[in-house]
Amino acid sequence: MGVERWMLLAIIWVTDFALFMVVFAVSRGLAESGSQSLTLGLVGGGFSLASGLSSLIGGRISDRVGRKRVILCGITGFVVGTWGCLALGAENRFYIPMYILIAAAIGLIYPPIVALLSRGRDAVTDRRDATRIIVVYCITWNVGLISGQLTGGWLYHHDPVRPIQIALLLALINPLLLWVAARSHTSPPASLDQNTTAHLEHRAASAAFSRLAWIANIGGAFAMSMVFHLFPLLMIELHIPAREHGGLLALNSVIVVITYLFMHRVPFWHHRFSTAALSQITAAASLLVLASAHSRLGLIVGLVGLGQLVGYNYFASLYYSTTGVTETRRGAASGMHEFTLALGFAAGAIGGGLLGQFAGIQAPYRLGAAFIVVLLVVQLASLAAFKRRAAQET
């Protein structure tokens, strides 16, 4: 990879590192201050919805006005939002709006970077090459996430404000990284003719499977949102300290990364729905374990089972989204991929927060299991409709 791609990946790592330190500090702080499940759910839902809408809009705009301009807007918004959280403090009424601004900024960073990274990749002539940059991207942001969760938990243990301070320092590195990327820009190698019969068939199949993957994204993100935004309440209930809390979240992310690597090395899952269904069923069962967990073992089983689904959904959705359209539309496709994730995160945080308010702090995880199963049925119906249309056309 050239310098430009390394800088773009560095932006992703720095952004996620900083982001999840802020997310940890804000969510844990709200839980420790006595905020109820519904409050955490509403804040988490607003955060995810802002990110999703921004991704949807930012991805489309980047296809028209240029990827790096949109990325710069996102980087600027991230710095302003992080600085606002730090300067205002948790007691200020604008603290949460600044937190939401960070989410909106994220949506302007990820889709255009995905579009830039995937330039010149041909999924028909070399599928391994097409997934190579995806797995590097996925590992990069997950390593950033793991770094943020572990570091955030450790820093928060010493001072609740420290994670946000370090996040701001990290965020200030991104403008320099983007400048280096812009200075190092090189044209991607000329790709082969992507309008052959094989390319058109592969693109059509990926486009169909991307719609199934987007539905699955909503279910997996719905459940994962509860871990991001409501899990602190369960940790406090079980008397698990912040450092160990961060470690459990990091374990979940490690499973996600392992799933990415497996999917990159073994492409049998391409355009095959049975593997997606198995992943979703496994996650639903694991969430039921999490919903009744009263020990660290139960928490680990639940988080591992959910982690493999998050990894599968994200990798498959990103692959299908980028190979199901032409290069000029990858910003919009990547934005739709991020939007469906954010929609699931928002619905899970709000719905889980509301249920947790009245049915107990572990009830949301049963809701997550049920929601995944319902959306699996929706995917089966969609797949059947797709096959009927294909049969009629032939």
- Domains of the chain in sequence order: 3-177+195-393 (1.20.1250.20)
User: What's the confidence (pLDDT) of residue 335?
Assistant: 84
Model confidence band, residue 191 (pLDDT cutoffs 50, 70, 90): low
Q: Is 353 helix (H, G, I), strand (E, B) or coil?
A: helix
Take residue 62 and report the two structure tokens written for it: 């980047």
pLDDT tens digit string along 101-130? Answer: 999 999 899 889 988 887 765 555 556 666
86 contacts: CB under 8 Å, gap ≥ 6: 161, 164, 165, 168
Model confidence band, residue 1 (pLDDT cutoffs 50, 70, 90): low
pLDDT tens digit string along 289-312? Answer: 988 888 888 888 999 999 999 999
Q: Which of 141, 67, 136 is nearest to 331 (CA)?
A: 67
CB 56 within 8 A of CB 339: yes
72 contacts: CB under 8 Å, gap ≥ 6: 175, 178
For every residue of 4-25, DSSP letters joined together read: HHHHHHHHHHHHHHHHHHHHHH
Tokens 């996102």 sit on residue: 74
* pTM score of the predicted model: 0.78
User: Of 108-122, 138-152, 357-371, which gets the smallest average pLDDT?
Assistant: 108-122
User: What's the confidence (pLDDT) of residue 384?
Assistant: 87
Mean pLDDT of the chain: 85
